[in-house]
Structure 1
């Protein structure tokens, strides 16, 4: 089936949400091949564990909801730390890979299909919610944050790991342009491509229409969380340990440009408990 037959390339007969779902369904086959998606080294795994423990503490059997769980990368990190994890995603190809990975590793993680902006999960069910690189793609973040507040237990905690992947600063743009030039003339090894060119064009079109089309900044996201009723906000921009562990999988210019991106973790609590 071609991309146009799937509604990927044109998308004229699809709503934005359906286009996003179709895009990530198509990305599933190669998702785990990209550095920054799957965990490729023990130092990176340890760095992620430290970030999660810093904001959420040890699992101790607490119920965790991993939103936009994809192939289950973050779900496995949470399971490592003793959380009882449920992963939600609305792309069945992602869920198929997540379930297969959990089975192969002997993990008891539940993966279910759901719209992460309207989960259909019961009220006040989860002790923690975690998301990675989801918020910047949301169509209606205000509604999503209210939904996530609903499914958290009183006193429950949310951890959002995200960034501004839209607006590049002058130095980042220069580094990327230099990297492309050096790759083209053979002076620099090309990094693994996240997705085929056709999918990347579709990705850029989708990003131009999501809520944070001008970029998700930490202060803006935190303000919207506060508007949804979350409290005790912590904005953490020190993700250097994770970036350093990932850097060896990129050429040095790509690693530099990623390191100066606006990336952040935000934790906050639901009142009560």
Structure 2
């Protein structure tokens, strides 16, 4: 008889935290992707890396289906996966009747999808939450076709940049004047901190830390891109507090591929 899986309690805490936030998640700045400059900037970042042709895409940790909407708008066939039934319920309602879309309740670290079944794997703000990143990357590599792409958007959420520390102080002053934002992560900040301190990347997800793990899993052709065009687009429509939030952390876009299989003799 098997015992509990490693990190099972942490996994349940993560699931419960985001499930509780599902109904208001789209109200938190940085999660919803509104039509207009921000939507266009995200779409451009994805199109630049995945290319213009339709692909079979696995979206990990789809949440309420915001990146799902981007992928569908670009013509991709999408399997949108999340391990929170509450998040999937919101996403299903948002995309009712959409073609080329399949939802899947599963763990992003162990999706149990067939070998070499996807042209691309895409995720946003997932990698920092991985409890066993080396195992997850190996699984993602297994599910990609030869030459398939892994694209993820993430950042170092543990330590604000120098400019971010100034922005944080300005946000704190605004909070005192106009009141705190009830939909931002601070609504459950103690639970968020408790989860973060138990994660492998809880003390900071950086490119330097993640590249060796990706390489060990078999990924090649690593390219690191800037999140700045997306942040610039967000600032075009955001209020002052949210414009400051775009300055808090060092964020990045990472794309790599499963090496193409050698030609047969």
Q: What TM-score, normalized by structure 1, do the two folds share?
A: 0.87
**Cα shift at 1:40:** 1.6
Q: State the shift of 1:259 in Å.
A: 2.8
Residues 61-210 of structure 1 aligned to structure 2 (within 5 Å): 62-103=55-96, 106-186=98-178, 191=181, 193-195=183-185, 197=187, 199-210=188-199
Aligned residue in 1 for 2:3: none
Q: Does structure 1 conserve the Cα–Cα contact (< 8 Å) formed by 2:61 and 2:108?
A: yes
Report the secondary structure of 1:28's partner residue.
coil
Q: Is the 8 A contact 2:160 2:248 kept in 1?
A: no
Q: CA deviation at 1:266?
A: 0.6
Q: CA RMSD in A?
A: 1.9
**Equivalent residue runs for 1:175-254 within 5 Å:** 175-186=167-178, 191=181, 193-195=183-185, 197=187, 199-237=188-226, 239-252=227-240, 254=242
CA contact (8 A) 1:123 1:151 kept: yes
- The structural deviation recorded for 1:20 is 0.5
* CA distance 1:263–1:113, shift in 2 (3 Å): same
The offset of 1:240, in angstroms, is: 2.1
Structure 1 residue ranges without an equivalent (≥5): 1-13
Aligned to 1:103, the other structure's residue is in SS state coil
Q: Distance in 2 between matches of 1:73 and 1:182?
A: 28
Q: CA deviation at 1:171?
A: 3.0
Post-superposition Cα deviations, 1:6-39, rounded to whole Å, max 9, x if no partner, equal xxxxxxxx71011101111111011111221111
1:133 and 1:215 map into 2 onto residues whose CA distance is 13
Separation in structure 2 between the aligned mates of residue 259 and residue 185 of structure 1, nearest angstrom: 20
Residues 35 and 249 in structure 1, CA contact (< 8 A), matched pair in contact too: no
Distance apart, 1:219 and its partner CA: 2.3
CA distance in 1, matches of 2:217, 2:49: 20
Q: For the Cα contact (< 8 Å) 1:164–1:216, is it kept in 2?
A: yes
Paired positions, count = 254
SS at match of 1:245: helix
1:36 alignment partner, SS class: coil
* SS of the residue 2:23 aligns to: helix
TM-score, L = length of structure 2: 0.89
CA shift, 1:168, in A, is 1.4
Contact 2:78–2:102 (CA under 8 A) maintained in structure 1: yes
Counterpart of 1:16 in structure 2 is: 10
Gaps of 5+ in 2: 1-7
Which is further off, 152-161 or 252-261? 252-261
Deviation at 1:222, TM superposition (A): 2.0
Q: Distance in 2 between matches of 1:119 and 1:162?
A: 20
Question: 2:21 matched to which residue of 1?
Answer: 27
For the residues of structure 2 that align with 1:119 and 1:227, how far apart are their CA atoms?
20
